């Protein structure tokens, strides 16, 4: 895996572990800081990492953790949307005034950075669409965006083919719930997501679309249409120490294996961007926007924002930011797949009641 893909994967892991809520979370934050420091130290013994296996293990797990709440997501009011747009513009201006980026690249990166801030602080029971776009765009950047740019028409067919595989595996999972003991239900839900990913990957269609649709359909039909039998809240693997520890260990390993050089202009951008992020956090709390958790201490919310924003600004590969087409394609695919899946479910399977 080339350097910028390695870095994007580190940031994707970071969005997952920062949003997790394992027991004794403060220990996790301390280990995250160690991992970030390792990213700036050259590895003495490079390790040959089987990236296809790593991605196939991590992506379904992270997407389950993130997307299991999308059936409850909305725009969270016009104040939240306006602040999200405002924050994207602010981050864009940081890069434009530093002279490091042209305005299309700066604006697109601002959208991703804003979405990551929403993802870092948003409560699980108050999810918004803004927090979903950034992590999913990272997944598309990491796995499929180049294929989309090179062969757009065949790739779009692969999106729908992947979604079909996701639908089939979700229905198989829902049927399996009725035939198995309740103690296996959590494993079935996550297992069908892995099945969707690997089938689509091996066939050569969009594995990201497959796993996203499989998770959305499984949770939506199980919780709202009551086609399954699991009535409890969908399990969150990263909220347990075994799941959290696995992802955190991988984060530490990749941080050690990756080495990021730092320049003066990057340091200035990070300082300006972090100051803007903390200012947005303060404003979001004043406007009582759920992503900024007014019921928690400002210092804690600011720390979570900084832990995600600092490495995002510091580690993000500048050569990728000089290619706005890649960023635009990733964001467009993320919005397309989320919107298409959500509207299709809402049309064919309307909500019949509250899931929990």
Supply the pLDDT for residue 354.
46
Distance, in Å, from the CA atom of 100 to the CA atom of 155, rounded to the nearest integer, reads: 32
Supply the pLDDT for residue 151.
87
Which one is predicted more confidently, 215 or 98?
A: 215
pTM here is 0.80
Only one residue has tokens 């293990």, namely 57
Only one residue has tokens 């924003």, namely 309
How would you label 323-337 residue by residue, b for 16+ Cβ within 10 Å and e otherwise?
A: ebebbbbbbebbbeb
Confidence of residue 216 (pLDDT cuts 50, 70, 90): confident
Confidence of residue 32 (pLDDT cuts 50, 70, 90): low
Supply the pLDDT for residue 200.
95
Supply the pLDDT for residue 45.
63
Residues in the chain: 356
Per the structure block, which two tokens stand in for 77? 């009011």
Residue 125: DSSP 8-state: G
SS3 269: helix
Distance, in Å, from the CA atom of 304 to the CA atom of 308, rounded to the nearest integer, reads: 7
SS3 128: strand
Distance, in Å, from the CA atom of 146 to the CA atom of 149, rounded to the nearest integer, reads: 5
Which one is predicted more confidently, 35 or 250?
A: 250
Distance, in Å, from the CA atom of 151 to the CA atom of 167, rounded to the nearest integer, reads: 24
pLDDT higher than 80, residue 232 = no
% of residues, the chain, pLDDT over 70: 68
Largest CA distance in the chain: 60
SS3 31: helix
pLDDT higher than 90, residue 287 = no
Helix 3-19 to helix 298-315 angle, to the nearest 10 degrees? Answer: 170
Distance, in Å, from the CA atom of 11 to the CA atom of 8, rounded to the nearest integer, reads: 5
- pLDDT mean over 6-14: 76
Confidence of residue 85 (pLDDT cuts 50, 70, 90): confident
pLDDT tens-digit profile of 69-79?
A: 666 666 667 78
Q: Could you give phi then psi for residue 305, rounded to 5 degrees?
A: -65, -45
Confidence of residue 41 (pLDDT cuts 50, 70, 90): low
Confidence of residue 201 (pLDDT cuts 50, 70, 90): very high
In angstroms, how far is the first alpha carbon of the chain from the final one? 42
pLDDT tens-digit profile of 303-340?
A: 666 666 666 666 666 665 566 788 788 888 888 887 88
Supply the pLDDT for residue 356.
40
pLDDT tens-digit profile of 93-142?
A: 877 776 566 677 777 778 877 887 777 667 766 677 777 788 888 888 88
Task: List all residues 6 or more positions away from 128 whose beta carbon is below 8 Å from its beta carbon.
Answer: 73, 74, 75, 76, 80, 118, 122, 290, 291
Which one is predicted more confidently, 56 or 252?
A: 56
Distance, in Å, from the CA atom of 104 to the CA atom of 206, rounded to the nearest integer, reads: 27
Supply the pLDDT for residue 355.
44
């Amino acid at each position: 895996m080339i350097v910028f893909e390695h870095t994007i994967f580190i940031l994707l892991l970071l969005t997952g572990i920062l949003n997790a809520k394992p027991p004794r979370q403060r220990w996790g934050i301390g280990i995250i800081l160690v991992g970030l420091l390792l990213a700036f130290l050259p590895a003495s013994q490079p390790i040959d990492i089987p990236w296809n296996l790593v991605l196939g293990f991590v992506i379904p797990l992270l997407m389950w953790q993130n997307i299991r709440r999308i059936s409850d997501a909305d725009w969270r009011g016009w104040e939240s949307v306006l602040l999200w747009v405002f924050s994207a513009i602010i981050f864009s201006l940081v890069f434009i005034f530093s002279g490091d980026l042209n305005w299309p690249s700066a604006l697109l990166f601002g959208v991703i950075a804003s979405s990551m801030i929403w993802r870092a602080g948003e409560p699980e029971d108050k999810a918004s669409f803004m927090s979903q776009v950034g992590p999913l765009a990272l997944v598309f950047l990491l796995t499929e965006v180049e294929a989309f740019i090179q062969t757009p028409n065949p790739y779009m067919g692969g999106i729908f083919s992947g979604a079909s595989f996701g639908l089939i595996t979700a229905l198989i999972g829902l049927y399996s719930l009725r035939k198995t003991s309740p103690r296996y239900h959590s494993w079935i839900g996550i297992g069908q997501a892995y099945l969707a990913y690997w089938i689509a990957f091996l066939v050569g269609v969009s594995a990201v679309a497959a796993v996203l649709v499989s998770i959305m359909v499984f949770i939506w039909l199980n919780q709202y249409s009551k086609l399954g039998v699991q009535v409890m809240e969908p399990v969150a693997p990263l909220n347990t120490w075994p799941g959290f520890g696995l992802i955190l260990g991988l984060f530490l390993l990749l941080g050690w294996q990756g080495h990021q050089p730092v320049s003066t202009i990057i340091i200035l951008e990070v300082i300006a961007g972090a100051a803007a992020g903390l200012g947005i956090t303060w404003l979001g709390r004043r406007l009582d926007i759920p992503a900024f958790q007014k019921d928690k201490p400002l210092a804690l919310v600011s720390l979570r924002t900084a832990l995600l924003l600092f490495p995002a600004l510091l580690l993000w590969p500048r050569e990728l930011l000089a290619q706005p087409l890649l960023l635009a394609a990733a964001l467009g695919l993320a919005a397309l797949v989320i919107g298409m899946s959500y509207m299709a479910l809402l049309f064919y399977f309307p909500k019949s009641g509250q899931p929990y």
